[in-house]
Structure 1
Amino acid sequence: MTADNLIPFPPSPQGPLGTEREPAPLVLDGELLPDDESTALVARRLGPEGLRARVAVLVRGVAHAPQIGQLRAVAGYRLRQAPRDVTRLGWFFLRGHGRWITKGWTWATHGDLRADARAARLAGDQEARRTAQETIRADAHARWSKIGRALHRTLAGGLLVTFLAGVLALIDAQVPRADMWPWLASVYTVIDALAVMGVWVLKAAPLGWLVAAIWEGRDKTPGASWLVRPCREDADSWIDERMISQALAHLGISPLDRFFKNGGELTYTVPARVDGEGTFAQIRLPMGATADMVAAKRTTLAANLGRAALETWPTQGEEAGLLDLWIADKGKLGGGAGPWPLLHEGTVDVFQGVPIGKTQRGQVIYGHFFERNWIVGGRPGQGKTALVRILLLGAALDPTAELWVFVIAQNTDFKPFAPRLTRYQVGMGPDVAAAAVQALADLFAEMERRGKLLATLPGSPPATSRRLADKPAHGLHPLICVISECHELFGHPTHGEQAEKLAISVIKQGRKFGITLILDTQSPTATSIPKEVTRNTSCGVAFSVADHIANDGLLGSGKYRAGIRATDLRMHTDRGTSVMVGVSDATFELVRGFYVPYSDGVDMVTPVVTRAMTTIDQLRRTGGPTPGDDDQDDEAEQVDHLANIQAALRGERRVRTQVVLTRLAELNPAVYEGWTFQDLSAALADYDIEPVKSGGVKVVRATDVTHALAYRDRLHDTEGDG
């Protein structure tokens, strides 16, 4: 092959044998217009024709806008309903006059007082009847007296106005406006303006009369309305204030019945609005009615709204008289939440939480670990173990988290987690229960160690944090302990009492130290779960449960009465759906959990655990923070501040405090990085040493540190001999 038969591919801007070739000029396809034609074209574009074309484009754009389309739909609907609307308005007009006549007759004949007298007569109460009759006579006398005074004043005022009008008319007829005093001319100007306004008022009076009569004759049925929204695709799911008011009016609650019977109209502090996959409204209930009363009638309310009980959630708002009502769209709660977002990729920061499912509003809900403890329960096979696995999988994807699992049963629910777990025990024997109790005792000791360590850190932070957890020397990494089937542990004849005491202590005090306890049970009874455990647990999760005792045992006392009920969740039908409290700012959340398959032949848990272990191995190779390193804990416990300060002095007689702090940070950055003068002073004060001033600066004297070390050594020797 020679250079002559080489064919460049793709063609390049080079000649044969690599010689440079000029790039081809850019070809523009167009037509040059003479100046007169170009000017004419510009004139057409800027002239009336161009303006009309641009206006036409704008009009077409507006006409095809979604808002205009909705407006056309509403206008068309109202046009089609015009005969019906006119008929209803005519009926309202006639009924309004009838109501005015009825009110006038009732007023003129003292109808309300006569009704009281009639009721007293039927009841045989002569005293009440006599009082009512005397009230009628007194009211009639007072009324005629007022009418007489009003007629007298009207007559006197009419005569005065007539006299003044005659005088002004006479003056206006005899004296030109230009010759009048200025103030008198202004009076006539005002009179003319009032006359013009009077004409318009007289013309508008019939319209006002018509509107007033229609308003008086309107349908006063609770929530009644006749201007309804036209054709919707989700017509079956449409909920508005009218429907809610009608549903509440037929609950059979006495205070509400009286309120609606007297023509009352509910106040909606939050009008019905779309909220996720449903509708939310907040109602101010009338006096005598509470949200608990409505929650107790939840099944009836759901039927009145055309919903299942699971789709209707009346709960108490910020006050007893505020009703928070959320109604799901039909069929929306039947679907699952979809695949877990972290199933194939991603890591987790346990301080930020783990996605565990979707709320009734269609929003992803996160399960948090920091400053949280969990209790999860429900009837067998409803999803409690799947939820705990999701929480544990999320925690496993945080390489700094340490995980313990104790299963007081014989199953393999958490077997795929074994490579990632620091402690793992399974079984129904006493050895597993003893190991779980020992774990709780170790958590209590770890909690105490972390509390003491935090007190020695710069600034004495009140709780652990992401920054502290990332420093292995401190040993403040997240520590998460799962006890599955915890009712077996708390009910154990030998270890139950001790387990209860330790669990309550860890739940109460371990939150701020990065220690999280997760309990799950399928037997949430009054005796199987200690009340103090439920009362102090941050996050309660209830899948389908059998009764209110199990409901409140998981979610907290009084939740069933407040309308937060997992008893309405149906076995099998609502598998994977749970009621949660404490997971968000809302009073409760109805959550459809994400599902990671783990069953016969399908295991999506193990790949996630493998991914977590790969991340940890990579961090260990690069020296990053990883969980469960006991040497790191020992290092944190063995920090000797006094000896380190002596090393930082480097044999000098006195050293400035700023220099000491710098050398300490160089000596042990994990502990001393970020220390301030106050931290150094506090460490020295433990040995009665105080920085002194020398040459205008604060210094640490070597003799003070040496004497303190010698005294401490002698003290330890004495204790050892004793």
Structure 2
Amino acid sequence: MNHEEENELFNRLEADMGAVSGAEVVDLSKVRSARAGSADSHTDPTADRWTDSGTDGSADSDDEESGDSVARPVPVDSPALPSPGVTTYKRRPILPSWLTSKPGFVSTVQRATGNALYATAYHGIRTPWYALQLGLLAPRGTVRLIRGTNQWAWDAEGAPLRAYEVRMENTAEYLKLSRQRDGRVRLRVLVATVALVFGTVFALTMYVMAPGWLAVFASAAVLVAGFWGAPQDQPVIGPAVLKTELQKLTGPIVLRALDNIGNAKLSAAIKKGGDMNGMRFTAEITRDGPGYRADLDLPWGVTPEDIMEARKPLASGLRRKVGCVWPSPDPTEHEGRLILWVGDKPMNETTKPAWPLLKSGTVDLFQPVVFGNDQRMGDVTVTLMFASVVVGSIPRMGKTFLMRLFLLIAALDPRAELYAFDFKGTGDFGALEPVAHRYRAGDDDEDILYVLESLRELREELRRRAKVIRALPRSRCPESKVTSDLANDKALKLHPIVAAFDECQVPFEHDKYGAEIEEICTDLGKRGPALGIVTLFGTQRPDAKSLPTGISSNAVLRFCLKVMGQPANDMVLGTSMYKAGYRATMFSRSDRGICWMAGEGDDPRIVASAFVDAVGAETVVARARKMREDYGNITGHAIGEQPEAGEATFDLLADILRVVAADEEKVWNEKVATRLASLRPEVYSGWKAETVAKNLRPHGITALDVWGTSDRGKGTTRRGIARADITKAITERDGKRSAD
């Protein structure tokens, strides 16, 4: 019997028992209620908010006496429930933030000193013109001075009050004011007379004893009279620095801006007063570097990412440029805490501090190193070791400069070995040649081959390092990875290795060497960080073809300068970063060098990388070269050595034709992978069916369904290739080469 049938039965029973006592009817209602409760408890999401006090068989005595045995609901919020007893105290800083922050202090002092020096130069060059104008205005000032002194001496300011009392025929008040006026006049006339006599005597004395000083005082008097005679709306000496006052950030302004970004929960909370919905400012709005900082709790269910997605409407509400407005979460607090930082100027217009390592200093790649500044112009650090790096952006946004900066950081660690490959071919990494173990600029076949041979060296070095780490005792290498202490031991040869590939899509898409280069780079990106090998990949076309998934998915540090869409944004920063509010599409064309950095810390952050031009890079490299000479680490390209030519380069398409018999029209990819591994184990070892398919796509060959027989003799269909497609691809490729 289902629930509806039971309800119908109970309705009939109640109709037939109309004469039954109220207690019996209540019993039936109780049964109905109990049955309904047992059924509804599975569907009502709020059923667990109450407990039934009668479920254990003990009902209130009052209920028993009244005959009502219906269970009384009990609220789940017990008043006896104890509090956690945890209280957090936060101390406000004793000194203002601009005084404790080096960038804030420097910017404040520079602004004040610069204005003072400019005003001095501005007024100094205009001093003769000021003197002439004041001299011409001196007679008017003298007349004003005499008239004002006369009015003061004879109490002219009280005349209207006395006249009023005369009109009102208020004799007592008039006599009182008159006596007050007489006293004032006597005193003021006496003061004026004494001043006049003293001034005359002083002038005559100076005329006799020091006529030169009399001329000085007379000139000063003329200038003072000129100031007195100047029109109030046209002062002779105007301001040298015209101030355009930015509106001070206040609570009402913040709420006004948040109310207008289009978030319904925010608007409702602000209209209701905020506190009832969990929204409140958690601290006073303060100066923080070259801007203001406001900390506030958002309404329940609203996160900082919701605000970050609406930076432009927020900037409009604050009446600031979008480059001034930087909402962010507070990693030390809960997910509803917002830090709103509003700068005085956009980030790309703020003068950045010089890179601390530009003129002095060394680097330990195992430790954080300053490479840029945040919105507040505070230092931002990066730790390159134990990570692979991806840098992506559209052209002309500072991607190559950022990669060169990372190489300069590596160059200042005298232990590090540098591999610098510039496939754009413009020589942006040229300053690093004196310290580079391997260096190449260009995209010709011989350049790509040079890179491939260098990568083969790295692959062999990777394998050697794995054996060394495996042989070390646990007491010296407890985490099975290279440490700074191990890198210092020259006998182990576990020094840091940093390899940078700018415009990495060029070698990956090379029709002859691309497959092997991608395979080695993917292996370095996966296993290299633990063994002291850091790889950096930069591309202006961040897509799956230019930046293979095996590399991008294993990158720890990600730097995304301006990109044009969500796919490129998430390819560099990671899946769903765009949806979470970390959008490099918001940067303008003038935001060169500004990027989202992910991987260093819990949350991505905005960073403006330090600007080091080619001349500055050469200066840093010259210092790094001297350090390396002292350490004994000038190798490879820096001393004219070339990588050893490896085994004859392979041709994937030709190798497939070698392992696929002429009578095999179609063959499974997994069989092709096995045969290739037997042909060239140093190249194809570890290849699977998916690897074969992926490396054939650049040649225009797609996998298809192939019927075949498994090792057990069972016929089945699997993904494979047609031999005719391989032959066609080779013919088309050779035809293009001959045409070139």
TM-score, normalisation: structure 2: 0.49
TM-score, normalisation: structure 1: 0.50
